[in-house]
A and B are shown apart, each in its own frame.
Chain A
Amino acid sequence: MKLTLEPILSAKKVNAYFGAFQAIKDVSLDVAPHSVTALIGPSGCGKSTFLRTLNRLHEEIPGARFEGEVLLEGEDIYARGMDPVQVRRKIGMVFQKPNPFPSLSIFENVVVGLTLAGVRNRHLLEETAESALKNAALWDEVKDKLKAPGTSLSGGQQQRLCIARALAVKPPVILMDEPTSALDPISTARIEELLGEMKKEVTVIIVTHNMQQAARCSDHTAFFLLGELVEHARSPTLFSNPQDRRTEQYITGRFG
């Protein structure tokens, strides 16, 4: 499909392997800036693996291999001499299970990306923490206990803390790997609400096994099956008028 804007992130002929097993086959995908793209598909279809190739986290798994190109703002993050550490500072990630650092306070958790990057200015850290927590809709709940451990919060709050942590380094792109699958419906709704707000600041790519979630809060949806990208379209189009028979079968609940 044709995007109206220049893509901020562009995957070209991505192949990913675990040892001899090929998990991703020739996937190409363009992502428009300030949009939410949902990756859907049955378990084991490679949507999470694909997501993890986008910030070079895939290669941290022993035996994992990658082929292809991923352009971030026109620059290949897999180019020779490209430092994965720098890549991950520009492409943030929120994981399936909330994973704040148990040894750090709420405040320290939010700004840990900045302190890793060497920021020591207390004023700047406090300012960033406040705005990131506000953007993650957590500020009002934690502003009086910033020194409490991050793990003292509820599951939903912890996940919003992780979102704040990712937002705090102001990356152009944030990847989310089933961020609500471990949460209750109310916490899930809050995070879905947040997605709409977040795209003012960042581009979001979210893996979800929940088709309603994809339909509710994404602009574009990509359907993965057996490591291949079957269909990629505007979400309303994909869900109302799928072009591929397999997409239709999946979204109508024939399998999955």
Chain B
Amino acid sequence: MSASPRTRVRVRARHRHNGWGYLFLAPWLVGFFLLVLGPMAASLALSFTDFNLFDPPKWIGLDNYRQAFFDDERFWNALRVTFTYVFASVPARLAFALAVAMLLNRGVRGLRVYRAVYYLPSLLGGSVAIAVLWRQLFGSDGLLNHFLSWFGADTGHSWIADPDTSLLTMIVLAAWQFGSPMIIFLAGLRQIPQELYEAAELDGAGPIARFRAVTLPLLSPLIFFNLLLQVIGAFQAFTPAYVVSNGTGGPSDSTLFYTLYLYEEGFTQFHMGYASALAWVLFAVIAVFSAIAFLSSKYWVHYADVRS
């Protein structure tokens, strides 16, 4: 080796430099490898086994997946419930978020207060308290029934405990928590140059045309971002169903969200191998939907810096 001592020192110094960088990254790296990547790899391996938490896992190949797809009514039901939830709650939430953001963007006085107030439900969103509140609102003695009784309607019906309406109450709950996409939309709306609206107005565009021709296209990157985030989040919804149905996914499995079923299989019935397989199926489902969103995005998402 003919490198001069000087270079060697410099190289070593740079390595030492990197070392410090890794050291500062360590908390995140340790968390990532120990708490994310490791368990993920383990769960993939476990998904091919029969594992009850206590006895050593037994390799059974694809049996878990076979059972889920061909021999498990509740798996299909959980998928049906979850898909219904995702496809109803995400558009509802985004529409609400956009509508409220547009209202707030019209220069209302006390914007900060409104913004905070509308954001509040999202802060409490995943919390047990809100789910408990939902029981109070939609239970047989709940506020909704009291409200309906002013109009002479029948009041004994429990909205959360009737399989026909229980999922609907969860969707309403989700739509109500529109705070975080709203904040993002609001930020996006403020980025849209006012001149574009003025130009559109000069061209004779009414409010609806302005919304379709200016707001939507310019907001589309944020709509895409929100859509992706919300779809991924909605597929993994757990707390509301767990608390509102008392951990059962009931009545009659009408709120058996996929993650709730997974939890029940894994931690109540101790079918840990099966639960791992369920988790990977969900992973695949989310991956497919994310891929669809990305692939379709070039047809409807307009980035300001890209000319189409």
Instruction: Decide whether A and B assemble into one complex.
Output: no
B-binding residues in A (CB < 8 A): none
